[in-house]
Amino acid sequence: MSVTHLLLHPEPDTGDSDLSWLYRAIHAAETAVFDAVLAPLPGPAVPAEPSTLLANLVPRTTGIGLIAQVSAQYVAPYNQARMLNTLDNLSRGRAGWRLVDAAEDSAAALHPATTPETQRWLRAAEFVTVLQKLWESWEDGAVVADIESGVYVDADLLHPIDHSGEFFRVAGPLNLPRSPQLHPPLLVGVDSAATAELARTHADVAVLTGEHPVDAPLVLREITPDLSEPAALAVRLATGDGFVLHLTAAGTELFTREVLPRLRDLGVVRDRYETSTLRGHLGLAAAVPVGVPQ
């Protein structure tokens, strides 16, 4: 069966002031067997950093993927590597991340630009590479956890990354063991030649916000769907690899009631989770190590 991948980007509605709206939206999305939910960026209705917010959602969910939105401009790569590694371990392989640009990043209004606009996506590419190296700095089997000898880790299986690049210098290794997916899947929004190139070279999933051509293992389109005509929407959603849907909690519940049955009649969505990791949900191959000197 050709599966239409559905990801939820939950949006607060007028009057939403606590996280109950978000819990409703995610419950509806998991009931509908969406592949993943993207954590909303911080704001009045979402008073939390995305990775921390998603960690709170781990015990509230069982199958849906949990995708943090991450800025490469204002976060240290070591800290971000730790947060995503932790989320992947806590969720047993359901973590993912999406790079956001300056226009989406609320931190941009609070800090001066750290990198000229023409170099931001070069910085982002190096940021991705550093995170991947840090995630690989612990070999499989590094955790011994031998109570009798008192040895927790085999130090010979931990490796500095000694990264020295144009934007970052990071010695490593990470201070956390490998996570189930090794590299949580990376989503990159594509609206320009620069972002298309970043998606081609680094992304697992390209998210189209315009009409720019892109080459990536999985290509999704980001839309705010019109729920007034469920049948027409279902036909539209049955085309292509899949979609990132911007919906409120009420909109997600309406989608589950009115659109989802039509998609199931078309045979393009699952009625249960058949894999346990976000990579599995998205039909992605296992992560290929970038290589850390050993």
- For residue range 208-257, list pLDDT tens digits in order: 988 888 999 999 999 999 999 999 999 999 998 999 999 999 999 999 99
Tell me the C-alpha to C-alpha distance, in Å, between residue 102 and each of 8, 71, 128, 211, 219: 21, 8, 16, 20, 22
Residue 7's pLDDT band, with cuts at 50, 70 and 90, is: very high
Domain locations along the chain: 5-282
Q: Which of 11, 105, 33 is nearest to 275 (CA)?
A: 33
pTM of the full structure: 0.94
> Mind listing the pLDDT tens digit for each residue in 127-179?
999 999 999 999 988 998 889 888 889 999 999 999 999 999 999 999 999 99
How far apart are alpha carbons 215 and 198 in whole angstroms? 10
Q: Which of 35, 6, 69 is nearest to 280 (CA)?
A: 35
How far apart are alpha carbons 85 and 96 in whole angstroms? 10
- Name the CA radius of gyration of the chain, rounded: 19
Class of domain 5-282: alpha beta
Place of tokens 């989503």: 187
Q: Which residue pairs from 250-253 have beta carbons closer than 8 angstroms and sit at least 24 positions apart in sequence?
A: 250/13, 251/11, 251/227, 252/8, 252/10, 252/24, 252/25, 252/28, 252/29, 252/32, 253/24, 253/25, 253/28
pLDDT at 107: 57
> Mind listing the pLDDT tens digit for each residue in 179-216?
999 999 999 999 999 999 999 999 999 999 888 889 99
Residue 109's pLDDT band, with cuts at 50, 70 and 90, is: low
